[in-house]
Structure 1
Amino acid sequence: MELIMASSLTGFRELVGELGGDGDALLRDSGIRPEDSGRTDVFVSLRSAVNAAERAASATGAADFGRQLALRQTMDVLGPVGVAARTAATVAEVFRIFDKFVAAYSPGIAIDVRSGFVDWTLRLDPLPAHPQTVELSLGLILGVLRRFLGADYAPAEIHIPHRRLTSEADYRRYYGCALRDEAAESGFRIDPADLARPVHRDALAHHYLTGYLDESLAGREVSAVRSVADIVGRMLPSGVVTVEFIAQHFGMHPKALQRRLAAEGTTFAAVVDGVRRVTAERYLRDTEMSLLHLSRHLGYAEQGVLTRACRRWFGATPLAYRRTLREEI
């Protein structure tokens, strides 16, 4: 049930367009609203984001799509985690901040720094093929290294778990170092002396930002209800809100998803019904949307289903409830 900040898709639509593809269509087909891409206040399915990157490479014929996309991103895509990293005392501490707080960006990603190696891991089960996501992420890490160590900095070696997608010369030109493909891990081998190099530190900002992230993540678990409700809300207008379809977004068996929801005291049907209720109330109160349009927006086949639902939720027809809401304003 892993999500990722939608800022991870910064530059996606523009790059796909420049390569002759339709970025909006690729995002929609992956279950992501195009207008959400690039936002730090919205989270999307991590599996869907991975799928979008892999499909974009195939659709555009750009084997180096992940590397190209990384050139359009900075550590700002990490949101508050990226801001906190700027306050570190050394390059190694930058990555320790990433390691400790990356869950605020995506709980499905792990970044580890050890003696002479910075490691990146995607935590999805089952794990999909994700070479573009690997190369995008390593390109972003390279950008972080060059931010603190200079624009010409080159690691000692890059490791990727898949077979190289283009020539070794391409990788050397991009990353500035030797390539080890089909490796056991994803990451960079780095001189320990480079990791120990000091960077400008704002001690006060460091204290407040890491404290904020500590509080944000303290005891936090990814809520199945919240994650499902988020995806359901986006998919309602399509009418595709079956447990099978939503489970597929999270790479889970439908029964496993139902068990997760049951552990939080609810069911898939109850989550869908709750999302529809909240959405209906908001549109009845705040807009002049027609009832036919609202019915379709909620994924109902006909307006009569909306009428029956409103009687159950609010004890009144949609129009009567809209009048009541307006009188309360």
Structure 2
Amino acid sequence: MPATPPSSTKPPRRRAEPWTRAGALRGLRALAAQLGQDAEALLARQKLPLAALDDPEVRLPYRGLCRLLEAGARDWACPDFGLRLAAVQHLSLLGAVGLAARLPARVGEALTALGDRLGAHSDAFTMALEVAGPRAVLSYRPACPEEPKTQLLAFAMAVTRNAVAFVSGQPDFAPQAVRLACPAPADAAVRRALARGLGASLRWGAPQTALQLDAALLDAPTAIQDTQYAPLIRDTLARLTAPPRPGTPDAPDAPDTVALVHQHIARLLPPGPCTQATVARALGLHPRALQRRLAAQGTHFSALLDAHRHALALTLLRQGTLPLAALARQLGYADQSVFNQAFRRWTGQSPGRLRRQALGPARAREAGAW
């Protein structure tokens, strides 16, 4: 009997574990302090990295986050755990992805822009905006629908509500209805706490998890559009989706530190101060750790700060609303002479000359360019 040739069929490739950024845990330490609990112990019991409490770019297994939220509600006797953790979250949860909402002029466009960029925050779920007549629906669609539990879905809807309120500039925004694609909890205290916290007509066991709002709100102007920093925001967002350069870290767990530093420089400057130490602190890193991460991506903090100052200086000069001394302070320079030297290095000319070219002598004189 002839020997059976070895099979060339390769075993099916195992699907990578769905992940999400640890930005979702922002505020967990504060919540633990309020309840007299230990955040580190909660993470340890779920076998999640403790670094997630300090570094929002740590990638957490999505199923691990689901388990943590359920464990927090159970172990800390906190039936609205997901809602309380979401209370301090809006676009901050998304890190640099949240910048996408600062470019469009309308609420609906901003929410769509966020949904289009969510892959850089997590591959575990998507958000879709659909309009049907006078109603609009923001739906939450997990990649592993069998896993998400009550607390995770309530957390997702509370964060979505906060994001709509933030983008629209309506802090009292309340959805018309909330649907959760999970059975009603057996514990009546959990049912009451979540219904009260979501503040809307709540339906359990729905076909999908979604938030319903008045479609007219989508056409309203956003409260957060940022035209001044639009070029920098676009650059940061481009870095989130750009393929890694040869020689730079391209492993799934490598955070895009350059994009994060751009985000924090834009937040701190103006009015400053903006230093490597302040940005490292905002990222939950030691300055040397930040330095190593940037070096691995082929740059350093002073180069990123210099590029931001250059772009911002050109914008402010062409606006013609600030005297040069005040403009230098906005850029974080100790005095105007240091700014003048930097500007000559960037452009080969003085800031006053560029302003005169852009505005004309009369307007430049009014702005203090002479």
Identity %: 23
1:157 aligns with one of 153, 174, 177: 177
Task: Determine if contact 1:9/1:38 at 8 Å carries over to the other structure.
Answer: no
Give the aligned residue type for 1:131.
T
Equivalent in the alignment of 1:177: 200
For residues 161 and 85 of structure 1, the distance between their equivalents in structure 2, rounded to whole angstroms, comes to 27
Give the aligned residue type for 1:187.
A
Give the aligned residue type for 2:219.
A
1:2 aligns with one of 14, 18, 39: 18
RMSD (CA atoms): 2.8
Q: Which has the larger radius of gyration?
A: 2
Check if 1:98 corresponds to 2:114.
Answer: yes
Q: What SS is found at the alignment partner of 1:31?
A: coil
Equivalent in the alignment of 1:121: 141
For residues 99 and 228 of structure 2, the distance between their equivalents in structure 1, rounded to whole angstroms, comes to 13
TM-score, scaled relative to structure 1 = 0.61
Equivalent in the alignment of 1:193: 216
Shift of 1:186: 0.9
Task: Determine if contact 2:80/2:193 at 8 Å carries over to the other structure.
Answer: no
Shift of 1:162: 1.9
Task: Determine if contact 1:66/1:136 at 8 Å carries over to the other structure.
Answer: yes
Larger relative contact order (CA 8 Å, sep ≥ 6): 1
1:213 aligns with one of 214, 237, 240: 237
Which portions of structure 1, spanning 4 or more consecutive aligned residues, are displaced by more than 3 angstroms? Answer: 163-173, 203-208, 225-230
In structure 2, the gaps of 5 or more residues are 1-16, 245-249, 256-291, 293-370
Shift of 1:49: 1.8
1:82 aligns with one of 98, 103, 112: 98
Check if 1:39 corresponds to 2:62.
Answer: no
Change (3 A) 1:219 1:96: farther
Change (3 A) 1:167 1:28: closer
Check if 1:202 corresponds to 2:226.
Answer: yes
Give the aligned residue type for 1:60.
W
Q: What SS is found at the alignment partner of 1:41?
A: coil
Equivalent in the alignment of 1:28: 44
Cα-to-partner distance string for 1:177-229 (whole Å, 9 max, x where unaligned):
21111111112111110122111433464455345434532569xxxx94589
Q: What SS is found at the alignment partner of 2:37?
A: coil
Give the aligned residue type for 1:89.
A
For residues 109 and 207 of structure 1, the distance between their equivalents in structure 2, rounded to whole angstroms, comes to 29
Moved more, 83-92 or 195-204: 195-204
Moved more, 81-90 or 38-47: 38-47
For residues 92 and 77 of structure 2, the distance between their equivalents in structure 1, rounded to whole angstroms, comes to 28
Structure number having the greater helix percentage: 1
Change (3 A) 1:129 1:169: closer
Give the aligned residue type for 1:163.
P
Check if 1:146 corresponds to 2:165.
Answer: yes
Shift of 1:20: 4.0
Task: Determine if contact 2:26/2:89 at 8 Å carries over to the other structure.
Answer: yes
Task: Determine if contact 1:76/1:83 at 8 Å carries over to the other structure.
Answer: no
Equivalent in the alignment of 1:73: 89
